[in-house]
A and B are shown apart, each in its own frame.
Chain A
């Protein structure tokens, strides 16, 4: 299923866009269109470029930033629009809410999204409507747009529709790459240490790590599958369920092995958020060795770092992040 990623603007121009004066003009550069057009795809079309609209939005935002819908999005939007039309012909259009109320809803939605992201939970559009927007569903688009603006302006975060199919949003950092952030406070985040331990084991092996191997390593930390830990709680549940749910790890059955055994792989989120160089630095710190003690892995990490720098020339070199002050 194609991802509805409005990556027309890269993070840098989004940051610029949110830095510059935000006026309600259609001529706003690419930085603003993504959140707005995402909102448009879900909350019903309204502006002429999207084709005939049926939705009489009572208090329409006057500006209409240029939308770049793709055919699928337009279809979805048109369907949504028809649904809205059916609703509004049933009863006379409700009075538009006071602007202050829309603003308040936008603030509630902002907090809701921030908390969901903090808990690393999925931000699901139907949940947003059910839990926050409620009866203001018709004005969902303007609420969503305002929320996106606030998040960009104040937090430097992009509220991005990551999957139109599942209607999931995620908060993406619009600032420069910050792999440093995750480990900036690493010695105060036991979860990260545990996760890094497992990820580095998988990385060093070069393939999936069997569950038994992982437990051998965790034994060093005094963790056992059957023992509850004061900080981690049920460790087994944490690594086989929670980390998997958060896409940091993959937990799969090893094929053709009886009795059944399972192995761990890097999850998609780990691949996105954690660099190989960070793993090497972590290993170096834990084993008190030079990262070059794992020569082939270190070479891989260098390769990846170089590729990342080339992909984003404005990024500054990540320094030794794990061995923070």
Chain B
């Protein structure tokens, strides 16, 4: 979706785009006038109907959703409010909503699970500069435990931090003293709330956390952060070239090397030494049944 270029999260004075029309001293929100008069401005703002509103409500309720759930949700919203209308193509539907959300600095963001490339969607706040979504959920020492785990994950080579290493940092936490046993349970809470994923005693970030906190992570750990060479987004798990060190997400590897017989590093052209995963196919996933346990997810430690 084309975004107007100046994306500064803090509008100073009257720097807002023309179509938002924020006259200085009025208390109401004249910006919504723009919704019914999509004239001028850098691009047409979309129109919100009850279909879109319900969709937003439910997306917010669920936090993060996989693509097929999102399609179902969309169909459901149409059925409730606008049975006769044609169901808009999902991408356009979401772009439409995002054009309205833009002035609020929130966005329906699309990402993918890092291990097998399943597309996921979440409503994220672009203006956050902290782990604010979690802040209301957890106590100070729990939040700090998450931050410590986050740091370990980002610094690690594999994108995973071992339970032991995280628990060893328990003494350094801010706030109330936490015992290791407690910390184990807090880590499980993070898993249940979809902030972390656990695999064989090690923890990495859930796709939800990546979607919601990418901006925060890039701003807070600018040196340690890894970026995918193909999609240029935050990278936690992936494959790396042994010669030049560039990294790629597993689903990005799959897409990039799909047609080629001899995979070569896009940067240094050296032979790509890792197994190339399959591209995610939603149809195949549907046939396999709704059970979410992904058999095709490769062991991500391929560095």
Chain A positions within 8 Å of B, measured between CB atoms, are 15, 21-24, 59-63, 98-100, 103-104, 107-108, 110-112, 114-119, 121, 131, 142, 145-146, 149-150, 153-157, 173, 175-176, 178, 180-181, 184-185, 187-189, 228, 231, 233, 324-325
Contact = CB atoms under 8 A, between A and B. Distances in A.
Residue of B30, B63, B136, B137 with most partner-chain A CB within 10 A: B136
- Interface size class on chain B is 35 or more
Contacts of A145: 27-28
A130 B75 CA distance: 40
Given A150-B104, A156-B53, A22 B32 contact: yes
B22 A100 contact: yes
A233 B188 contact: yes
B54 A178 contact: yes
B21 interface: no
Contacts of A173: 57
Contact of B53 (A22, A142, A154, A188): A154
Given A121-B136, A233-B192, A180 B57 contact: no
A103 B104 CA distance: 9
Nearest to A59: B25
Interface of B: 10-14, 16, 22, 24-30, 32-33, 35-36, 48, 50, 53-54, 56-58, 60-63, 69, 72-73, 76, 80-81, 100-101, 104-106, 125, 127, 132-133, 136-137, 188-189, 192, 290
A63 to B, nearest CB: 6
Contacts of A107: 104-106, 127
Contacts of A149: 28-29, 32
Contact of B54 (A59, A99, A112, A181): A181
Contacts of B136: 112, 115-116, 119, 121, 131
A131 B104 CA distance: 19
A108 B104 CA distance: 9
Contacts of B125: 111
14 contacts: A21-B32, A21-B36, A24-B28, A62-B25, A103-B11, A104-B11, A121-B136, A121-B137, A146-B29, A153-B48, A175-B53, A181-B76, A231-B192, A325-B72
A16 B99 CA distance: 22
B28 A22 contact: yes
Contact of A150 (B29, B36, B62, B189): B29
A156 B57 contact: yes
Given A23-B28, A233-B188, A176 B80 contact: yes
B28 A181 contact: no
Given A107-B104, A119-B137, A176-B81, 9 more contacts: A21-B33, A99-B22, A100-B22, A112-B136, A121-B137, A150-B104, A153-B48, A154-B53, A181-B76
Contact of B26 (A61, A114, A154): A61
A181 B80 CA distance: 9
Contacts of A188: 69, 290
B13 A115 contact: no
Residue of A63, A153, A154, A180 with most partner-chain B CB within 10 A: A154
Contacts of B100: 154
Given A59-B25, A99-B22, A154 B80 contact: no
Given A115-B136, A154-B48, A184 B27 contact: no
The 7 A-B pairs at the shortest CB distance, nearest first, are namely: A61-B27, A156-B53, A24-B28, A184-B76, A149-B29, A100-B11, A111-B125
A2 to B, nearest CB: 29
B74 to A, nearest CB: 11
B27 A24 contact: yes
